[in-house]
Structure 1
């Protein structure tokens, strides 16, 4: 029954599937259905030329559709991943990492490996060797909300 319906649509079946998939991509964007829809449209164009050919059965069409879908998805992924632009603010969402290399004065002593410093307008928890209040430290690493510091040697 499905094969009969498919044959009654002729080469336009692929165009219908392609357009439906492209419209679905607009409604539910995810940059995935566009490649499958494009494969269906290309297969529709091929079907217009090859519909009456003896070898152009539904099994060949489905196999070619699967191959084109995967091929287009791989090519599309490479195109989208290749367009990474460099940011003018590379540390925007990585604030702790942006503080590495900065120096500060301890606001609270480091006791048992933990203390606090003020950098800009924020108090930061720090980890490092035990030091008294007022010691100069340099940020050497960031792990989540804690900064790792070492004493600044003059």
Structure 2
């Protein structure tokens, strides 16, 4: 084992990186991608500096694996709702704050409002047909409304 470690060269790192990337293709969910990339980087550095001892190659591999994973994690985390369409794939959220007309009278707290070419269930204060209401929140397919003064 010690002989293998002392004779690590760039081919060993490239082979490890390739195997990890191939395993990633089979569905590791992104975990092996960054470790494989770190192995490829160490392989490239070992090619450029063949005298790099294994006692530096292994810690370098560990640090690079952590750095690449943290970099990607931060980048993914930063792409939350700061985009130009924060309500994409959140049906109904774009309706909050907008005003609509009661389609079916809200009686005992339940009725329907007309939203574009569709009708949504609404809960809120009793209101006759034709009343303007504002959407205050959305819970599944039901919109909470308040009467517009």
TM-score between both structures, scaled by the size of structure 1: 0.72
Aligned equivalent of 1:130: 126
Q: Is the 8 A contact 1:6 1:13 kept in 2?
A: no
Q: What RMSD, in angstroms, separates the aligned Cα atoms of the two structures?
A: 3.0
Q: Is the 8 A contact 1:138 1:150 kept in 2?
A: yes
Tell me how many residue pairs correspond in the alignment. 146
Aligned equivalent of 1:152: 148
TM-score between both structures, scaled by the size of structure 2: 0.73
Which stretches of structure 1, 4 residues or more, deviate above 6 A after TM superposition? none
Among 79, 84, 95, the residue aligned to 1:99: 95
Q: Is the 8 A contact 1:110 1:129 kept in 2?
A: yes
Higher Cα Rg, which structure: 1
Quick check: 1:68 aligned with 2:64?
Answer: yes
Q: Deviations over 1:87-121 (max 9, x none)?
A: 4x554423312222332222222222111112112
Unaligned runs of 5+ in 1: none
Task: Compute the displacement of 1:123 (Å).
Answer: 1.2
Aligned equivalent of 2:114: 118
Aligned equivalent of 2:42: 43
Q: Distance in 2 between matches of 1:64 and 1:43?
A: 7
Q: Is the 8 A contact 1:17 1:40 kept in 2?
A: yes
Q: Deviations over 1:22-42 (max 9, x none)?
A: 333445474443321121122
